[in-house]
Structure formats: C-alpha cells, structure tokens
C-alpha cells in the first residue's frame, strides 16, 4: 500500500467494482492517510485518528465489496459484522467488543500464514528427514540428533528392500564405520526414491495429535470475554492426545510439514505482529447501521430503547478504547471503521450526536441502472460471465455471450429491480442462474470424451428462458 497513490488505488478497485467513483476516492484517501501517518513524528502520529466513513446506499451497489477489496489490496485484517447482531448489554445478543476479538483472530491467521510460508522450505527439509526415519527399519545413521532407539523404536514392517541388498538393511547396532556408511547410503537411496515420487503410495505408521474434548461454556450477554478465557483454560487442562495412524507416505509428509512449521513458528512473535497490524491497519465494516437507528417519531411510537443502546455501546469502540483478548489488550484508536446502510426509514443525522462525530465522512452510493449492469457483466476480472464460462468449460460446454444477449439481461435486471425489491447487482445472480439452469443440468450429457459443444447465449436465448417470468409479474417476484 505504501507504493500506491490514491489514483492507483481507485484504478485497482475499478478492476472489481463498477462505478461508485466518489466512494472509491474516499476510501483511497483514507488508506493513503494511513501511510502518511506512519511518516510523521511519533509524538504527533498518535494524535492523528482515522477518518471513519459512512456509506449510504441501497443493497447490492458495492458497499461491502469496496471495503473488502480495499482490505485485500492493503493486506489489512478485515472483519464484516452486521450491527443488528449487537444489542445493548442486558439484552440477548452479542457483545460489541467481540468484533475486535474476531478481528484479532483474523490478524493472527494472516500473520501465521505469512510466517509459515517463510519457514516452509526448512519445514519441508525437517519433514523429509522424519519421513526417512519412518521408512528406515533401524532409524538414522549413528549420530543423528532425531533418532533414539529406546524412545522411537523403528517399524521393521515398513522396510523397503534396495536393489543389490542381499540381506536387507545393515545392522546399525554395530558401530563400525562400514555399517554407518552402508546406513547412510541406504538413506540417500530412499531419499532419491522419495523425491522421484516412487514411494508416495506406500503406507507408514505416524503418531498424530487428536483433538481434546470440546468444552462449551455458556456466558451471559456482554461477558463473552470470560467465556473465551474459560475455553482457553480448559484447552490447557485437557491437552491434545496422540495416537498411531496408518497413512500413505504423501499424506504423512503433509502432516509432518505442518507439524514442523508449527514447531518453527514463534507464536509470541506472531501474536505481537498480529496485534500491531490490527491496531495500525485493521478495518471493520459495520453493515446495516441504519437498522439500529430510529427517527425521533419512530422512537416515541415504538418505545424501543435498545437501538440507541447499541449505538452507545459502539461509541467507545469507535472512539478508541482497549479491548481484552486472549492475545492481550488491543487498542482500537487507529482501526478504520466503515459503516454502511440503506437509510430508507432514517437518516445519518438520526444517529446519536457522539457517534455521528466519529463518522465524519459520508458518501452516497448511487443505484445501478442497465448500463451499470452491462459493465458489471463484462468488465470486472471476476465477472459472472467469466465465472459461468469457466464452470461449464469443465464439462466441455463452451458458452459465448453476445452483446445483445447481455444487454437483454441488463435491461431485465433493471426492470425487475424497479418492479420488485431493489437488490442491486445481486439480481444478476438470480437472472443468470435462471437462464443457465437447464444448460448446467444437461452439461454432463451433452459432450463426448473428445468433443466440445459450443452454446451461444444471445438475445433470443435469454428471452426464451425468461419468457415465463417476463409474462407473469407475480411469478417474477418469487422466481427472481
């Protein structure tokens, strides 16, 4: 992210999201400000708070996708949560602090994967040596730090006779240089066979860890932190047990690589790095914020006070506080919060004033029309048309979308959104699935082993497969 300017960030987002230029520009500046903040003197750096954003717009216009793609581009921990999952403490629901704990878990997994990739080569080397220990009937040559005849007796049933060895493997109980040389030679021959892929289907006995008892602790609303601490305590009291499993060599190798990777990782450093990343570059996307907002008229009519209670519980997290997690205390001062909502029945100014002040940036996303739908079907790298082509090509069915056919799909998506519920670009999923349902079902029976079938999806094909829902508006409400 340090090498990308706001213009370049918008350009990257354009590869996946159509339109919504104002929202893209706003999040691009927010991410660039994070880099700018890191260049400032540390005394002033801590005083600069992120400018949280409220995205206003109907469902399916790209609010979540913008935030998710931005986080992936910046390699930042990202967590999406619906505000309706939270309730004021004292009511049944989730504690608002749980989203910080979930974000921390995501950060831990991100850093663990990165560190595992760094030690992968060394882990593979160690796993190969342990695999050879399993394959050799009498262990490694003398002097190997991993082999102990008393603690790890060899499995003689898995001996692999080598070409030219009349009496199997040399007796390594002899300390003669000849015996050690023969054992080392045998080990290298086994290594060569393994690397050539000639031993993958053999079976070995491997000691693997089994999951300990799963203890669930019921916690009162607002006390999920105590539940987490109890579960962590029980996991130490009931450690994982080990048992012997017989598996193919290739499967055993993957298990050994994973075990060696975990052994090489310093989880304290992983947790420290993850905490730093979460605090400095974490992104939390709070969806459906409008569902916990009530206008003054509705508040008086319904008497629902829990919605305002959720806002007041969110306030200290967004404002900046310290949350207790099993990896330590996490500060939320510099986490970027992006909230979103349709705000049909309320407006952002109906938020409590303190929370409004913590979301100073607001951007309205526009509803999608048929031109936007057509671009969504053709321009993004992961367009639905590209996905369907790839899926059906696996069956030997090569589909081709004509421009007129896609225009018909786009126009019908716009019309359906206007006449029924406006669900934005998600309408394209239902329409394309309806059009290609028969083709997807019949695809395995359409092609021979060496013959591909080409199907053209043109305007006539689209109208034919949508004829029933086009004619019956009531039916379209249920089908699409």
How high is the pLDDT of residue 333? 92
Residue 223: the pLDDT is 54
pTM: 0.77
Q: How far is CA 34 from CA 38, 39, 144, 174, 391, in A?
A: 7, 9, 51, 66, 39
**Measured distance CA(345)–CA(300) in Å, rounded:** 15
In angstroms, the CA 62 to CA 365 distance is 8
- Please check whether residue 374 is in contact with residue 407, taking contact to mean a CB–CB distance below 8 angstroms: yes
HEC per residue, 412-426: HHHHHHHHCCCCCCH
The whole-angstrom separation of Cα 352 and Cα 388 is 45
Per-residue pLDDT, 296: 54
DSSP 3-state of 130: helix
- Domain coordinates in residue numbering, the chain: 6-117+270-364, 120-264, 370-479
Residues whose CB falls within 8 Å of the CB of residue 296, separated by 6 or more in sequence, listed in order = 350
- CA 46, CA 100: separation in Å to the nearest integer? 20
pLDDT score at 385: 93
Q: What is 370-479's CATH topology?
A: Helicase, Ruva Protein; domain 3 (1.10.8)
In what helix (H) or strand (E) does residue 195 lie, and over which residues does it extend? helix 177-195
H or E segment at 336? strand 336-341
Burial group, residue 468, by CB count within 10 angstroms (0-12, 13-18, 19+):
exposed
pLDDT at 363: 92
pLDDT for the residue 199: 80
Reading the block at residue 6, the tokens are 């706001």
Which 8-state DSSP code applies to residue 239? P
According to CATH, the topology of domain 6-117+270-364 is Rossmann fold (3.40.50)
Split the chain (480 residues) into runs of 10 and give each run's mean pLDDT: 83 90 92 89 87 90 90 91 71 73 94 91 88 68 42 47 43 60 79 82 78 54 56 62 79 87 90 93 91 64 61 89 90 93 86 90 90 92 91 91 93 88 88 92 78 88 87 68
């Amino acid at each position: 992210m340090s090498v990308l300017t706001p213009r370049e960030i918008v350009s990257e987002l354009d590869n996946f999201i159509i339109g919504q230029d104002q929202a893209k520009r706003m999040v691009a500046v927010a991410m660039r400000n994070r880099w700018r903040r890191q260049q400032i003197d540390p005394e002033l750096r801590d005083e600069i708070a992120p400018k949280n954003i409220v995205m206003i717009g109907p469902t399916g216009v790209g609010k979540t996708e913008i935030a998710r793609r931005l986080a992936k581009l910046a390699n930042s921990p990202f967590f999406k949560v619906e505000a309706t999952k939270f309730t004021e403490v004292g009511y049944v629901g989730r504690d608002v602090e749980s989203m910080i704990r979930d974000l921390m878990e995501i950060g831990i997994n991100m850093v663990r994967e990165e560190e595992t990739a760094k030690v992968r080569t060394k882990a593979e080397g160690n796993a190969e040596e342990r695999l050879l220990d399993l394959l050799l009937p009498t262990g490694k040559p003398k002097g190997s730090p991993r082999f102990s005849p008393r603690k790890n007796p060899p499995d003689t049933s898995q001996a692999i006779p080598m070409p030219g060895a009349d009496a199997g493997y040399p007796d390594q109980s002899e300390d003669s240089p000849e015996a050690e040389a023969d054992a080392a030679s045998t080990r290298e021959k086994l290594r060569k066979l393994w690397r050539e892929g000639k031993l993958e289907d053999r079976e070995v006995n491997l000691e693997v860890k089994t999951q300990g008892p799963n203890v669930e602790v019921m916690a009162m609303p607002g006390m999920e932190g105590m539940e987490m601490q109890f579960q962590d305590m029980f996991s130490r009291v009931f450690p994982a047990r080990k048992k012997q499993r017989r598996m193919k060599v290739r499967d055993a190798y993957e298990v050994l690589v994973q075990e060696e990777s975990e052994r090489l990782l310093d989880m304290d450093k992983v947790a420290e790095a993850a905490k730093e990343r979460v605090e400095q570059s974490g992104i939390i996307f709070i969806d459906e914020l409008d569902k916990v907002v009530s206008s003054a008229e509705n508040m008086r009519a319904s008497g629902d006070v829990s919605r305002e209670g959720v806002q007041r519980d969110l306030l200290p997290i967004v404002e900046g506080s310290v949350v207790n997690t099993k990896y330590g205390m996490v500060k939320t001062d510099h986490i970027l919060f992006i909230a979103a909502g349709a705000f049909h029945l309320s407006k952002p100014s109906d938020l409590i004033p303190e929370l409004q002040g913590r979301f100073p940036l607001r951007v309205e996303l526009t509803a999608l029309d048929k031109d936007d739908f057509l671009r969504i079907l053709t321009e993004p790298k992961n367009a639905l048309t590209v996905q369907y082509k790839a899926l059906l090509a696996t069956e030997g069915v090569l589909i081709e979308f004509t421009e007129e056919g896609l225009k018909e799909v786009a126009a019908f998506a716009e019309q359906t959104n206007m006449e029924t519920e406006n669900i934005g670009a998600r309408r394209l999923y239902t329409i394309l699935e309806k059009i290609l349902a028969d083709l997807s079902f019949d695809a395995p029976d359409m092609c021979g082993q060496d013959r591909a079938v080409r199907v053209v999806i043109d305007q006539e094909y689209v109208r034919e497969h949508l004829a029933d829902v086009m004619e019956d508006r009531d039916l379209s409400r249920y089908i699409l």
